Structure 1
Amino acid sequence: MYVDPAHRRHGVGRALLRAVADRAGQAGAVRVELSTDKTNEQAQALYESEGFVTGLPVRHYLRPISLR
């Protein structure tokens, strides 16, 4: 999820989170998972204020692909 900086602090991210959770519940999901960079404290505060809790850490692997 990404909110353009010009539209932050206006409830857009919160509305998106709630809409996703509502749709997921209607579709039969039992939870919503999301991730963010550990330095993104603003996003973490939003997620926690919406009832999300920290789960297990996940490793993210990258491998560059060179063009030949």
Structure 2
Amino acid sequence: MSDSTALIGTKVSGRRRRPKAVDGLRVCSSPRCSTRLSRYNRNGTCYMHSPITFPRVRGRDIPVVDV
């Protein structure tokens, strides 16, 4: 008996979608900020002036234990 494992799959091919980009030179819209924005940054502000957002928490809740 031989113990061989064969992996079967397909090669990734085809055209990939281009990343969304914004045309033109843009700067942060916050007053007195002259940070140049990347063409891939869809927001109108730089990282320092963007509102704080928290990622969605996934998974189960951790039970709280009363001491």
**Normalised TM-score (structure 1):** 0.23
Higher Cα radius of gyration? 2
